């Protein structure tokens, strides 16, 4: 199970950030396709709280933070927000997976969902 990277790093004050050279998705059709994938799959952790937009903090707390899986990858729903709003591209390997999947995430079975949940928990320890 692979966990998609959302941010590129954390600054000295502990705030996550995107690198200036982080690839962007300029093509509106590809951006919509990637966002469709990121909005599907199965939720493994629902978060009711919203995060601040790290690119345009003036937008406020508008970034959803739930986590999803397709049984192969785990991603934060915030990535969908950043794709749609700012064109931020997922990391190359994950983007290739999304495109190979026809921009439609699989719905994992119960054992794969539980494996994803455990992988997510382990990554946060």
Quick one: which of 2, 9, 19, 22 has its CA closest to 75?
Answer: 2
Q: Mean pLDDT across the stretch 82-95?
A: 97
Q: 125 pLDDT band (50/70/90 cuts)?
A: confident
The pTM for the full model equals 0.93
- Residue written as tokens 């709280």? 49
Over residues 53-65, the pLDDT tens digits come to 999 999 999 999 9
CA gap 60, 50 in Å, rounded? 9
Q: 124 pLDDT band (50/70/90 cuts)?
A: confident
Pairing of strands 42-45, 50-52: unpaired
Q: What are the domain boundaries of the chain? A: 23-123
8 A C-beta contact, residue 41 and residue 69: yes
8 A C-beta contact, residue 76 and residue 6: yes
Which class for 46: exposed (0-12), middle (13-18), buried (19 or more C-beta within 10 A)? exposed
Over residues 5-39, the pLDDT tens digits come to 999 999 999 999 999 999 999 999 999 999 999 99
Q: What confidence score (pLDDT) does residue 100 get?
A: 96
CA 21, distance to chain mean position in Å, is 18
Q: For residue 74, what are the β-bridge partners?
A: 3, 69
The answer, yes or no, to whether residue 83 has pLDDT greater than 90, is yes
């Amino acid at each position: 199970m692979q966990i998609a990277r959302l941010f590129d790093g954390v600054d000295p004050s502990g705030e996550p950030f995107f690198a200036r050279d982080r690839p962007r998705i300029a093509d509106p059709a590809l951006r919509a396709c990637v966002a469709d994938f990121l909005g599907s799959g199965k939720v493994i952790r629902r978060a009711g709280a919203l995060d601040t937009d790290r690119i345009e903090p003036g937008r406020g707390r508008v970034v959803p933070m739930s986590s999803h899986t397709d049984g192969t990858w785990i991603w934060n729903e915030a990535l969908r927000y950043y794709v749609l709003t700012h064109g931020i591209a997922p990391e190359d390997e994950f983007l290739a997976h999304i495109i190979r999947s026809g921009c439609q995430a699989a719905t994992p079975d119960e054992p794969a969902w539980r494996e994803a949940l455990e992988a997510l928990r382990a990554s946060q320890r």
